[in-house]
Amino acid sequence: MTVSVHHITKRFGAFTALDDVSLDARPGEFLALLGPSGSGKTTLLRVMAGLEFPDAGAVLFDHVDVTNARAAERRVGFVFQHYALFRHMTVAENIAFGLKVKKPVERPSPEAIAARVRDLLGLIQLEHLGGRYPSQLSGGQRQRVALARALAVGPRVLLLDEPFGALDAKVRKDLRRWLRQIHDETGVTSVFVTHDQEEALELADRVVVMNHGRIEQVGEPAEIYDHPASAFVADFIGEANRLEVTVRHGRVFFAGVDLGPADGHGDGPAILYARPHDFVITDVGAGAIPAVRRSHRRLGARHRILLSLGDSGATVEVETLGPLDDGDVCHLAIQRWDLFPA
Amino acid sequence: MSSSTTESRLVRRLLIGIALAFLSFNLLLPLFAVFSEALREGWQGYQAAIIEPDALAAIRLTLLAAAIAVPFNIVFGVCAAWAIARFEFPGKSLLITLIDLPFSVSPVIAGLIYVLLFGAHGWFGPWLDEHDIQIVFAVPGIVLATIFVTFPFVARELIPLMQEQGNDEEEAALSLGASGWQTFWRVTLPNIRWGLLYGVLLCNARAMGEFGAVSVVSGHIRGLTNTMPLHVEILYNEYNFIAAFAVASLLALLALVTLVAKSLLEWRFGRKAVAGH
In this predicted model, what pLDDT tens digit does every residue of B80-125 receive, in sequence order? 998 888 888 888 889 888 888 888 888 888 888 888 888 877 788 8
Residue contact B190–A88, C-beta within 8 A: yes
Q: B-chain residues within 8 Å CB-CB of A14?
A: none
Q: Is the ipTM of this complex over 0.85?
A: no
pLDDT of residue B275: 39
Residue contact B177–A75, C-beta within 8 A: yes
Least confident of A151-155, A249-253, A254-258, B3-7: B3-7
CA distance B26 to B43: 26
Tell me what percent of the residues of chain A surpass a pLDDT of 90: 60
Residue contact A84–B172, C-beta within 8 A: yes
pLDDT of residue A137: 93
pLDDT of residue A210: 96
Q: A-chain residues within 8 Å CB-CB of B174?
A: 51, 70-72
Q: Please tell me if residue B4 touches chain A, with a CB cutoff of 8 Å.
A: no
Tell me what percent of the residues of chain A surpass a pLDDT of 70: 99
8 A C-beta contact, residue A137 and residue A91: yes
Q: In what order do the strands lie in the sheet with A30-34?
A: A76-79, A157-161, A189-194, A30-34, A206-211, A214-219
Q: Please tell me if residue B186 touches chain A, with a CB cutoff of 8 Å.
A: yes
Give the chain A residue nearest B179 (alpha carbons): A72
8 A C-beta contact, residue A49 and residue A76: yes
> Considering CB atoms only, which of B179, B190, B191 is closest to A72?
B179
Query: Terminus-to-terminus CA distance in chain A, angstroms?
Result: 41
- Quick check: B143 pLDDT over 70? yes
pLDDT of residue B38: 86
pLDDT of residue A323: 67
- Quick check: B9 pLDDT over 50? yes
Average pLDDT over residues A186-191: 92
> Considering CB atoms only, which of B175, B178, B182 is closest to A49?
B175
User: At a CB cut-off of 8 Å and minimum separation 6, what does B3 contact?
Assistant: none
pLDDT of residue A110: 93
Q: Whole-number mean pLDDT of chain B?
A: 85
Question: Using 50, 70 and 90 to split pLDDT, how confident is the model at B140?
Answer: confident
From B170's Cα to the closest Cα of chain A, the distance in A is 8
Strand-pair partners of A334: A279
Q: Whole-number mean pLDDT of chain A?
A: 90
pLDDT of residue A218: 96
Tell me what percent of the residues of chain B surpass a pLDDT of 70: 94
pLDDT of residue B262: 82
Q: Please tell me if residue B190 touches chain A, with a CB cutoff of 8 Å.
A: yes
pLDDT of residue B258: 84
Residue contact A72–B169, C-beta within 8 A: no
Residue contact A71–B175, C-beta within 8 A: yes
Residue contact B177–A85, C-beta within 8 A: no
Q: B-chain residues within 8 Å CB-CB of A98?
A: 176-178
Question: Using 50, 70 and 90 to split pLDDT, how confident is the model at B273?
Answer: very low
pLDDT digits (tens, 9 = 90+) for A69-120: 988 889 999 999 899 999 999 999 999 999 999 988 989 999 999 999 999 9
Say what the pTM is: 0.79
Question: Using 50, 70 and 90 to split pLDDT, how confident is the model at A157?
Answer: very high
DSSP H helices, A63-165, are 71-74, 91-100, 110-123, 139-152
Count how many pairs of residues, chain A against chain B, have C-beta atoms within 8 Å: 64
Q: B-chain residues within 8 Å CB-CB of A84?
A: 168-169, 171-172
pLDDT of residue A116: 94
DSSP H helices, chain A, are 41-49, 71-74, 91-100, 110-123, 139-152, 169-186, 197-203, 221-226, 231-236
8 A C-beta contact, residue A193 and residue A162: yes
User: At a CB cut-off of 8 Å and minimum separation 6, what does A116 contact?
Assistant: A95, A96, A99, A108, A152
8 A C-beta contact, residue B251 and residue B206: no
- Quick check: A26 pLDDT over 80? yes
Q: B-chain residues within 8 Å CB-CB of A88?
A: 190-191
Average pLDDT over residues A17-44: 94
Test the A interface: residue of B87, B175, B192, B196 with most A CBs within 10 Å: B175
Q: Please tell me if residue B189 touches chain A, with a CB cutoff of 8 Å.
A: no
Q: Determine the Cα angle at A189 with ends A183 and A193, to 5°.
A: 85
- Quick check: B10 pLDDT over 60? yes
